[in-house]
Structure 1
Amino acid sequence: MEDDERPTQLIVALGQMLGVITAMQREQAEMNRQFLGALQAQAERQAYALEQLVARTAAAPPVPAPSTLAGVVLHKMTAADDVQSFLESFEATAEACGWPVEERAVRLLPLLTGEVQTADLGLPPGSQAWLRGCA
């Protein structure tokens, strides 16, 4: 009888193994569904973040390209310099470097010396219109 019971025991063991494998497959399928849901949610968040970044970038003012003459060294005005010539030279340099007009006064003021600097410092804030016209 032992030989008769052996196939039955094997069939029962195989049935149990099949049940365990089926349960494992169901668990794996559920885990895959959860993972896919999390992956889809992450993709949606990334797409939203990318849309926001593109919108922000489109709304931002364009950044000017760096000038090839950005490393130009400007020397301070000396007592021997003609004011008009110095300003014209500065203006030519500013144009060649592509400096925005609104930044030129900030770049020019530290270069001024002597009477021109004293005169400029005596002006009320915002009164340096002559700089915007000359530089």
Structure 2
Amino acid sequence: MANPHLEYHLQLLHHLRTILAALGEAEQVPEESHALFLERYDELLSLLPQDPLQSQYLGQDLLCQVIQRYPQIAHLVPRDLLWFFGGDCLHFMPDDELDLYQQLEERRFEAEQNDEPFDWHQEKRLLAMPGDGTSH
């Protein structure tokens, strides 16, 4: 069974998959290449729970392709996915956003080391608040 962090990102990937499928159904993209792209995307969905580390490069490649091939939905790509896959995906994130995610990741790691629960959404909200984000 996948850990909660991985499960969360799988849910985001499934959500993005529904958006991509809707693009094809609305005939807004070339059908043949879109179908092949969705096959590779589905491959990622099945491989990621089995081997998260081996799936990183495929995830990076596919997310970058989503932004480049489908600019009309680039704003709908969850930022959490860009951070999760890292690599070239990080080029689509501004420095202040990278700083926020770096702090989030450090807090998550610290919580894991101390066997404490970690709520990604709550911590993200706290860090995004005006001020230094350390008031909790």
State the structure with more CA Rg.
Answer: 1
TM value normalised by structure 2:
0.26
Larger helix fraction of residues: 2
